[in-house]
C-alpha cells in the first residue's frame, strides 16, 4: 500500500494520486472537453484541479491511489463527504457547484464510453449559488475613469492602459478578450468592428468607437517593442504579453484616486457598458449579441440593475399605468 504525505487542505499524496487507468481516463475526458465541447483553457484548468482534489480525497479515504473500479463503487455518502470536506476548507457555493458539475460531467462521459456505471454523483444536491447582480459604475464615474486614463502623461504604458480601458467600456470586452487581440486585428482608425472569439469559442462582432480606434493607434505608435502581425497587441513593460493583473492594479489605483467603490474592477467596465446601453434604450437581444452571451437569461440580469428606468418607461407607456 503506498505511503501518503498529507498536510491540511493542501494535501499531497507522495505516491501517484490515481492508478494508470483512471489517469488515462481523466486525460481523455479533458481532451474531449477541449476539442469536442470547446471548453476554454480556464475551464479545463479548473476541472483538472477539481478532479485532482477529488482523487486526493479518495486516496486518503481508501488508502491507495484509486482506479476506475473504485469510482464505480462509490456511494452517495462518499460524494457528500467530499463536498463537506471542501466546504470546511473554505470553498464557497459557486466553487462547490462548479466542482460538482465537473464530477457529473466526468462520470457521464465515463458511462457513455462504457468505462464504468456509477450514478451516485447525480444524486448529490447542487449547492445553492447566491444570486448576484452586476455592479456597474454610474455614467459619470465611468466617464471619470476614462478621462483619468486619457489625462495621464502619454508615455507608451499610459497609452496602452487607456486603450485597454476604452475597449472594456467602449466595446464591452472581457479583459481576456481585450488582451487576446492580435496586432493584425488591431482596431485602428478605419476598422470600426472587431471580431471577438469569447467563451466556448463563440464568435461575435463588436463596434469600436472612433475614440477607441485613436487610443489603440496612439499606443501602437508609442510602443517601443517590435510587433509582428501574430503577436498580442498589448505588451507588458518587459515586452511580453500584458498580464490581466496589471489592469486590475490600475483599477485599484483609480479607485483610490477617484473614490470609487471596491466593486470598480475591470469587469465592472463591461457591466457598465451593458447597463448604460440598456438605460439608453438598447434592445436586450442586441446587448446579448454584443456581450457574447449564449443565453438571453444571462443578459436579463441587467434589467435588475436598471429596474427603476424600466419601471418609469412602463408607467409612461402602459395605457393603464
Assess whether 270 carries a catalytic annotation. Answer: yes
| Angle (CA) 300 266 100, round 5° | 60
Assess whether 7 carries a catalytic annotation. Answer: no
Please state which CATH number belongs to domain 139-317. Answer: 1.10.443.10
Assess whether 195 carries a catalytic annotation. Answer: no
Strand partners, 10: none
Q: How far apart are CA 39 and CA 229, in angstroms?
A: 26
The segment(s) of the chain belonging to CATH 1.10.443.10 are 139-317
The segment(s) of the chain belonging to CATH 1.10.150.130 are 8-123
Regions of the chain where pLDDT drops below 70: 1-17, 130-134, 149-154, 304-318, 320-321
Q: What is the pLDDT of residues 35-79, one digit of tens each?
A: 887 777 888 999 999 999 999 999 998 899 999 999 999 999 999
Give the pLDDT confidence score for residue 263 in this predicted structure: 84
Assess whether 267 carries a catalytic annotation. Answer: yes
Q: CATH number for 8-123: choose from 3.40.50.720, 3.40.47.10, 1.10.150.130, 1.25.60.10.
A: 1.10.150.130
| Angle (CA) 43 267 222, round 5° | 105
pTM of the predicted model as reported, rounded to 2 decimal places: 0.62
Assess whether 174 carries a catalytic annotation. Answer: yes
The residue from 199, 204, 255, 309 that is catalytic is 199
The residue from 98, 135, 267, 309 that is catalytic is 267
Give the pLDDT confidence score for residue 230 in this predicted structure: 94
The residue from 160, 270, 271, 276 that is catalytic is 270
Amino acid at each position: 500500500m503506498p505511503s501518503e504525505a498529507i498536510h491540511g487542505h493542501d494535501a499531497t499524496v507522495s505516491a501517484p494520486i490515481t492508478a494508470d487507468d483512471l489517469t488515462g481516463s481523466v486525460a481523455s475526458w479533458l481532451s474531449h472537453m477541449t476539442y469536442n465541447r470547446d471548453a476554454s483553457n480556464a475551464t479545463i484548468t479548473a476541472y483538472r484541479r477539481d478532479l485532482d482534489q477529488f482523487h486526493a480525497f479518495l486516496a486518503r479515504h481508501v488508502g491507495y491511489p484509486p482506479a476506475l473500479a473504485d469510482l464505480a463503487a462509490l456511494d452517495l455518502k462518499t460524494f457528500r463527504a467530499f463536498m463537506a470536506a471542501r466546504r470546511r476548507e473554505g470553498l464557497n457555493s459557486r466553487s462547490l457547484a462548479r466542482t460538482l458539475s465537473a464530477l457529473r460531467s466526468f462520470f457521464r462521459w465515463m458511462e457513455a464510453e462504457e468505462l464504468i456505471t456509477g450514478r451516485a454523483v447525480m444524486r448529490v444536491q447542487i449547492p445553492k449559488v447566491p444570486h448576484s447582480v452586476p455592479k456597474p459604475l454610474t455614467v459619470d464615474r465611468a466617464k471619470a475613469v476614462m478621462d483619468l486614463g486619457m489625462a495621464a502623461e502619454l508615455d507608451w504604458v499610459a497609452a496602452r492602459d487607456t486603450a485597454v480601458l476604452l475597449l472594456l467600456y467602449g466595446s464591452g470586452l472581457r479583459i481576456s478578450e481585450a488582451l487576446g487581440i492580435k496586432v493584425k486585428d488591431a482596431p485602428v482608425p478605419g476598422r470600426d468592428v472587431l471580431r471577438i472569439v469569447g467563451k466556448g469559442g463563440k464568435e461575435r462582432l463588436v463596434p469600436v468607437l472612433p475614440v477607441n480606434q485613436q487610443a489603440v493607434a496612439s499606443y501602437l505608435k508609442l510602443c517601443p517593442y517590435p510587433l509582428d502581425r501574430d503577436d498580442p497587441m498589448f505588451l507588458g513593460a518587459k515586452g511580453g504579453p500584458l498580464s490581466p493583473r496589471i489592469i486590475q492594479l490600475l483599477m485599484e489605483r483609480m479607485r483610490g484616486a477617484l473614490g470609487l467603490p471596491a466593486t470598480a474592477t475591470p469587469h465592472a467596465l463591461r457591466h457598465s457598458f451593458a447597463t448604460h446601453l440598456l438605460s439608453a434604450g438598447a434592445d436586450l437581444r442586441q446587448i446579448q449579441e454584443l456581450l457574447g452571451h449564449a443565453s438571453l437569461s444571462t443578459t436579463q440580469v441587467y434589467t435588475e440593475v436598471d429596474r427603476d428606468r424600466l419601471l418609469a418607461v412602463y408607467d409612461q407607456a402602459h395605457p393603464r399605468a
